[in-house]
Amino acid sequence: MTTEIRRPLTLGLSLTVGLTVLMGCSPTVATHGHRLDEAALAQVEPGTTSREQVQGLLGSPSSLATFDEGAWYYVSQRTERLSFYQEETVAQDVVTITFDDRGIVRHVDRHGLDQAFEVQPVDRKTRTAGNELNVFEQFVGNIGRFNLPQGANTR
């Protein structure tokens, strides 16, 4: 091949490889949870908006309070992943709407990623009541448990 033909071919190959490498470095963006419409959220007014109106405006909540039915949570999260183990949360929005006893909005609170904290799991084990049987005790204990009921057809 002449140098006139090799030069564009080499340049094209180099550009293709370079673009492929650059595309591999761009993060994969994922959005999870309940993305709220800001205009709809602005219509939720403490003291006047009812629980049914909130559900009509914002939809069902992401989560309800565990012990109190008076709080609804709308949670959304945006993550970026560069590789398999390199996922980072870049944005998080939690909207808490609390209701009074009549089902009217009491408070609308908004929390972002700056107010989040990482939960550290406890490494203790909970003991369970009962006996711990070895393999022999389990085998002997199961003898006779798998008999057919009386009057059952043995064919």
More confident residue, 42 or 6: 42
Residue 61, CB-side half-sphere exposure with 13 Å CA sphere: 18
Query: What does the pLDDT average to over 32-41?
Result: 84
Q: Can you give the residue ranges of every domain in the chain? A: 31-115
Q: How far is CA 7 from CA 1, 13, 21, 126, in A?
A: 10, 10, 21, 70
Lowest mean pLDDT among 40-54, 102-116, 121-135, 140-154: 140-154
Strands (E), the chain: 28-33, 63-64, 71-81, 87-99, 105-112
Determine the Cα–Cα distance for residues 64 and 97; give it in Å rounded to an integer.
Answer: 10
> For the whole model, what pTM was predicted?
0.58
Q: What percent of the chain has pLDDT over 90?
A: 23
**Domain 31-115, what architecture?**
2-Layer Sandwich (3.30)
Q: For the stretch 71-94, what's the b/e string if a residue is b when 16 or more beta carbons lie within 10 angstroms of its beta carbon?
A: bbbbbbbbbeeeeeeeeeeeebbb
